[in-house]
Structure 1
Amino acid sequence: MFCPFQLSEDGIEMQFGTNHLGHFLLTNLLLEKMKNTAKSTGIEGRIVNLSSIAHVHTYGHGIRFNKINEKKGYSDKRAYGQSKLANILHIKELTRRFQEEGVNITANAVHPGLIMTPLMRHSKLLMRLLRVFTFFIWKNVPQGASTTCYVALHQNLKGVSGKYFLDNNEKRPSSYARDEALAKKLWNFSEDLISSISKV
């Protein structure tokens, strides 16, 4: 989170690669198995992407498609926000595809809250300031896991898909996160990016 600019071994900006592209690939690798399992058992499958309220703090057009791996103009905080926006757009497009196919799988995104972990180790000053001024809203790990568990397991959310949750409640995400065209564009971009890496 908020890490300095660096590229992965595959040449992908680290936050985008770690927070979105890896999850996108893993999900796609598991999709057929999930579809078959949901169909054969009649049990709804659920995909939960861990996003963040930071998705509202991204680059000017939401996703820097043409500059995803460029150091120039890189902002550690906006890059993090971009990757978390991508998590929500991913579930939005997954939901559209599931509904189109009539698949018994849901996909939702959650913001776990501010949790006492070393996630912000690259921003020690910001971390100190946040802890001083927002100490009363920080969560421990079990509290932080609550929304994820709720969305993954609670019977009240049967059939609920394409939504964003915070503190066990559905919340309205940013306008970028609700943009269907942006979600489709990100899906295609992610597939192309993975395909180009695979050929190397």
Structure 2
Amino acid sequence: MKKGQMEIMGIAIVVIILSMVFLFVVKFVLFSKDDTSSAREFAESSMAANFLNTLQETNARECAGISFSSLYQDCAENCLDYKPNCQGLIECTGGTENIKSCEYIRKKTSEMLVKVFGERKVQYYFVATTDAEKFTDASNQLFNSLPDGKTFDEICSGNSMKAKFQHLPAKSNPFSLGLFICEP
């Protein structure tokens, strides 16, 4: 090979290397917003899954140390009509008076949701339902966190949301806990 050809090959290799470096810089500098978005999506999705896992494993002192998972199952198995006044069988101490499992989990789950998501100003929707496919249908719901006067579609105000469902075994019906977190 002649000296001139070798110089041109060297320049071509340098140009290729510089082009690759330039492409990597452009990708990581200009498109870093997508990485932040992905990290945020993962954090929101993890937050929902972690909350549902923790909720199920939490033991209720006021209910003889029974787990929330068991309380939800009791409520689902003994409240086949899923009306707001349905009580369940397990008795819990609710301050000055005894309350049943359904009322207890409605109250305590709402408190936990406000503590975890409300204080962080994260928009959310929680539902305990027998049909994860039709979770907005009130006839399938044991409990939901829908604020009064709002519909499910108004919760995220047009923003998209991430959803996580945890399925619980129940004798009568399949039962699911769902948590939706609105993306900012």
Normalising by the smaller structure, the TM-score range is: under 0.3
> Which is strand-richer, 1 or 2?
2
Where is the helix percentage greater, Structure 1 or Structure 2? Answer: 1
Return the index of the structure with the highest Cα Rg: 2
TM-score (norm 2): 0.23
Which one scores higher on RCO, CA 8 angstroms, separation ≥ 6? Answer: 1
Q: TM-score, normalised by structure 1?
A: 0.22
